[in-house]
Structure 1
Amino acid sequence: MITADARATALDLADFVTASPSSFHAVAEAARRLEAAGFTRLDEREDWTAVDGDRYVVRDGSIIAWHLPQGAGADTPLRIVGSHTDSPALKLKPLPRLGAEGFAQVGVEIYGGPLLNSWLDRELRLAGRLVLRDGREVLVETGPVLRVPQLAVHLDRQVNSEGLKLDPQRHLQPVLGLGDIDPMQVLAEAAGVAADDVLATDVLTVPAQEPALFGADEEFLASPRLDNLVSVHAEVEALIAVARAEQAGPAPIAVMVANDHEEVGSATRSGAGGPFLEDVLVRMHAALGGDDASLRRVFAQSLVVSADAGHAAHPNYLERHDPVARPRLGGGPMLKINAQQRYATDAVGAAAFLAACESVEVPVQRFVSNNAMPCGSTIGPITATRLGMTTVDVGITLLSMHSAREMCATVDPELLQRACRAVLSGAGA
């Protein structure tokens, strides 16, 4: 039975996804929600004389926000929930103007590891940021302007028996229109700026179809970018809830971080492999009167929960999963465990997350890979390596992960949000 709260959370997630066609838009939407809840933005380029209360910082397509409880000081531990803002896609090349046989096309390259076939025969938009001649950054999103048409079965008679084979250079360049059309002009018009003023872009293609509930009892949510906007949405709303419900007694400093570029390795200035989170924590701690030694003591007693989507057992491909650990849609968030430390979960972190979830009656599943299948990774091991904090990898279950349109259970986003709130509030500690 889907509760009213679960349905409302799923629909609010759908609104969040719709407002977040790129990592830059996701940060803008997160900031909008945080500011509506009373959070104040800090600028990295300025001195931080006050970090009390509710604050946030933006770096490109990444955002960090925190709630400093009353009485917090240089010895107060941290509870951090982390996620990522980016998703696999086709990214606009710097010289995108193409054409053949009377078609205007757009040059793209592969961003991350998308299921390429899912981008075929689907109306696509363009979204991201433009950097203008005067240094301003402008968010941009178009309507449905692109499509990657698949070759007809009459011209590829073996496609259904031998499988679809796509050359990412030759077969994935979207059609924009007929004649000679400049993609940069399309972007400039959508952003309300002059094309000559656009010096550089960070723009990707995104599916035009909006999220939707479906199923016999609307028990599923179909949506682009669930990996990993479901976690970004959960941690934003959880942090707001913690900030609004100031608790009596000692409480940890609650922090959320949403990094960009996880899908391409995180090794950027705004990715988890970069210094963003550590920069913010060091400056916050200094403003609270701490030094490097006290900061390391705080790190040693703090917890990071890396929240990223994971695989549900697929009913048509059961042989691809572990024979015992088979997470299901609707079963709540899962602990992600890997002997090769592709996930950062250890027994200490797992126990902390389980205790937090037990305190709010959220069920927890376990995920391990089939031994014959390679295992992905997350920001968890990277964050643990950079900061030395106890770190645990978790996430809701998906089917069709890295498709242009993924699916989850309608109840799971609300369960993840409750788990994140419990973690940030220090429950189970």
Structure 2
Amino acid sequence: MDAEPDYIDDFAQFITASPSSYHAVAETARQLTAAGFTELDERAEWPSSEAGAGIGDGSPARHYVVRDGSIVAWSVPPTAGPATPFRIIGTHTDSPGFKLKPKPTTSSNGWLQAGVEVYGGPLLNSWLDRELELAGRLVTADGATHLVRTGPFLRIPQLAIHLDRDANAGLTLDRQRHTSPVFGVGDVSQADLLEHLVGLVPRAELDGTAFQDSGLHGSDVLGYDIVTADTAPPQRFGLDRQLFAAGRMDNLSSVFAGLVALLSLSEPDCPGRIDGHVSVLAAFDHEELGSESRSGASGPLLDDVLTRISGGLGATTEQRLRAYAGSWCISADAGHAVHPNYPEKHDPVNRPIAGGGPLLKINANQRYATDARGAALWATACADAGVSYQEFVSNNTVPCGSTIGPLTATRLGISTVDVGVPLLSMHSARELAHAADPPALSAALTAFFAPRVRSALSDGAGALPDERNAR
């Protein structure tokens, strides 16, 4: 793709700006605001009409709402009515790693260490011997929330081979004893992680006063959600710089692709039809933990937002349910490319390769929500975008993970299809993709938001166009 280098550069900047789910939401909100979206407060009354005509100039109404580490953004065309369906891209903002515990400053045998808890299902060995940072949010006594990040600050040191001669035969890590990072030498009386973190609060957040005059100290921090992140920058490399390595591509690859797709709808050369549905980007937190939280995909966030959008369009319960019945959701989450060193772990026939295009994810046991109609929808979007795609299905002896797709479909009854970028080393501190696949995913998501006009094109409950696999 001609735009590949620019896309990857922008994607790399997005990853760098997003060491935690809260930073990812802040960066997404920043880009949305710059593009003319306005933030709404869940505690406030929303506009009585979300239609573009309701704001007076016939342009789309574009808003977003933030709930902790999640964000939902949407664009309502001026032609929208009470039963207008939705086209939703669902993603997640969190990634596996470690989360800072209460009483985080510890010491052992002269080393200062951070108390951390395993978050999700990381490949533990991939986090060893890397310069890590702490990043996330602090909540202070005045109720304010502050985003902080340390830059390179921590390291989980591996035991030398001389002290573990069998390490190369099979490394075993105890999640409690072997994953505590070091950040200095001394004892707990000489260091306080919270004092260090609160000292990183940007001075602009303190009403312009100098930090030393602000009176803000570690004791003022009453709560925090702080995670670890790898500090090595994203990198293109390999033959013709085909390969792209970075942390947190599961699932920032999908968040960024969906954001680019949503922002592209306002471009004058947007080729498709965007007036037949409300376009929604939903990026949830806590997917790596199972999504069961107020800001996770199993929670009420998306239903709350869709209900309020429909209500703003004057919808009755009957009309809102009709809108849901005609809607589509794409659950975008990273998947697996076939691994050259472990090919036996993959299906012998359906073997997605890096650079072959985004994945259509299929599972007979509904670990993914894709069905035949969803597969046809994805084939159409990829054909419209001019990109190839690949099917992913698990080896019968290697159970697959799941996504927000089945959760969203179950909660809302909205037709859903699971897709994503193929990766190697998923859940590693640093994952690997082909540089052509992330922009291809975004192009297909853009085509999903802006489908070409065709007589057979219908909503989620109706017929699908007679389009075939773009491969």
TM-score (norm 2): 0.89
**Offset of residue 172 of structure 1:** 0.4
**Offset of residue 356 of structure 1:** 1.4
Mapped to 1, the partners of 2:435 and 2:29 lie a distance apart of 25
Instruction: State whether structure 2 residue 389 is matched by structure 1 residue 390.
Output: no
Mapped to 2, the partners of 1:383 and 1:405 lie a distance apart of 28
Mapped to 1, the partners of 2:273 and 2:99 lie a distance apart of 48
Contact 1:252–1:425 at 8 Å: present in 2 too? no
Summarize deviations over 1:364-395 as a string: whole Å, max 9, x none: 10000000001100000000001001100000
Contact 1:313–1:326 at 8 Å: present in 2 too? yes
Mapped to 1, the partners of 2:274 and 2:354 lie a distance apart of 37
**Offset of residue 203 of structure 1:** 0.2
Mapped to 2, the partners of 1:282 and 1:155 lie a distance apart of 60
Contact 1:79–1:254 at 8 Å: present in 2 too? yes
Partner of 1:204: 227
Contact 1:124–1:147 at 8 Å: present in 2 too? yes
Seq. identity, %: 55
Contact 1:55–1:67 at 8 Å: present in 2 too? yes
**Offset of residue 124 of structure 1:** 0.5
Instruction: State whether structure 2 residue 285 is matched by structure 1 residue 275.
Output: no
Residue 183 of structure 1 is aligned with which of 175, 184, 193? Answer: 193
**Matched AA of 2:135:** A
Contact 1:252–1:426 at 8 Å: present in 2 too? no
Mapped to 1, the partners of 2:372 and 2:365 lie a distance apart of 14
Partner of 1:297: 322
TM-score (norm 1): 0.97
Contact 2:274–2:450 at 8 Å: present in 1 too? no
Mapped to 2, the partners of 1:314 and 1:191 lie a distance apart of 42
Pick closer, same or farther for the CA change 1:309–1:248 going to 2, 3 Å: closer
Secondary structure at 2:15's aligned position in 1? Answer: helix
**Offset of residue 195 of structure 1:** 1.2
Q: Which moved more, 1:181-190 or 1:275-284?
A: 181-190
Pick closer, same or farther for the CA change 1:310–1:249 going to 2, 3 Å: closer
Summarize deviations over 1:391-412 as a string: whole Å, max 9, x none: 0000010000000000111111
Root-mean-square deviation (Å) = 1.2
Residue 35 of structure 1 is aligned with which of 19, 33, 36? Answer: 33
Summarize deviations over 1:122-147 as a string: whole Å, max 9, x none: 00000000011011111010021100
**Offset of residue 426 of structure 1:** 3.4
Mapped to 2, the partners of 1:58 and 1:228 lie a distance apart of 18
Instruction: State whether structure 2 residue 242 is matched by structure 1 residue 219.
Output: yes
Mapped to 1, the partners of 2:273 and 2:10 lie a distance apart of 29
Contact 1:251–1:425 at 8 Å: present in 2 too? no
Q: 1:341-352 to 2 correspondence within 5 Å?
A: 341-352=366-377
Residue 171 of structure 1 is aligned with which of 170, 175, 178? Answer: 178
Listed as ranges, the gaps of 5+ residues in structure 2 are 52-60, 203-215, 458-471
Partner of 1:129: 137
**Matched AA of 1:343:** Y
**Matched AA of 1:266:** S
**Offset of residue 243 of structure 1:** 2.9
Secondary structure at 1:392's aligned position in 2? Answer: strand
**Offset of residue 197 of structure 1:** 1.2
Contact 1:251–1:426 at 8 Å: present in 2 too? no
Q: Which moved more, 1:51-60 or 1:398-407?
A: 51-60
Contact 2:345–2:398 at 8 Å: present in 1 too? yes
Pick closer, same or farther for the CA change 1:196–1:249 going to 2, 3 Å: closer
**Matched AA of 1:136:** A
Mapped to 1, the partners of 2:73 and 2:275 lie a distance apart of 20
Secondary structure at 1:373's aligned position in 2? Answer: coil
Residue 93 of structure 1 is aligned with which of 70, 76, 101? Answer: 101
Mapped to 1, the partners of 2:29 and 2:241 lie a distance apart of 30
